[in-house]
Amino acid sequence: MRKLRVAILISGRGSNMQALIGAAQAAGYPAEIVLVISNRPDAAGLALAEKAGVPTRIVDHKAYPSREEFDAALEEALVAARPDVVAFAGFMRILTTPFIERLRGKAVNIHPSLLPLYKGLKPQQQALDAGATESGCTVHWVTPGVDEGPIIAQARVPVLPGDTADTLAARILTEEHKLYPRAIAMIARGEASFPD
């Protein structure tokens, strides 16, 4: 069976990217990682991808005078890799709505909360501030509203007494690294698709 072609967008550490690359190295995994793109030249994840033998590209947002021009460069880099799915993994740029519309049904994101709770920045701190007793992570389709697209899969973790944003983030991240490869496999096997 043809493997799902996945391009990954990162901005930093790249631990979710690494989890996807690791999963894709297993023989029976139904997806392959064809490209990693970072909008930051200094993203630590770039070296990890290179070490794993995955092609990388830098599309530095600072090199483009407008969001439209950045998006056009990003789209050009993506199209060349012919991805079936574009996986956002700690990708910290807001894209223009027309570009996101063109990625409809193709782009997925992972967010460290149980969406629709705690969208946006610092979701772990938001969970603590709300007095939540559990949180988790969500893989969802990307739509123009930030962290708003249809949900593909979620994993839960407890919020424990004494948790800080960092300890909670670490507990959630362990689950992210399992959930993201599982969600991509679901898409590859036709078990998840963008709702009509």
Nearer to ligand GRF, 57 or 72 (CB): 57
Nearer to ligand GRF, 90 or 149 (CB): 90
Task: Give CA–CA dist 93/105, Å, rounded.
Answer: 19
Nearer to ligand GRF, 16 or 73 (CB): 16
- Give the nearest residue (CB) to ligand GRF: 90
Instruction: State the SS3 of 113-168.
Output: CCCCCCCCCCHHHHHHHCCCCEEEEEEEECCCCCCCCCEEEEEEEECCCCCCHHHH
Q: Among this protein's residues, is 111 annotated catalytic?
A: yes
Which chain residues interact with ligand GRF by CB under 6 A? 12-17, 89-90, 110-112, 173, 176
**By three-state DSSP, how is residue 87 classified?**
strand
CB of 111 to ligand GRF, least distance (A): 5
Looking only at the bridges linking them, the beta strands covering 56-58 and 4-10 are unpaired
CB of 16 to ligand GRF, least distance (A): 3
Residues identified as active-site? 111
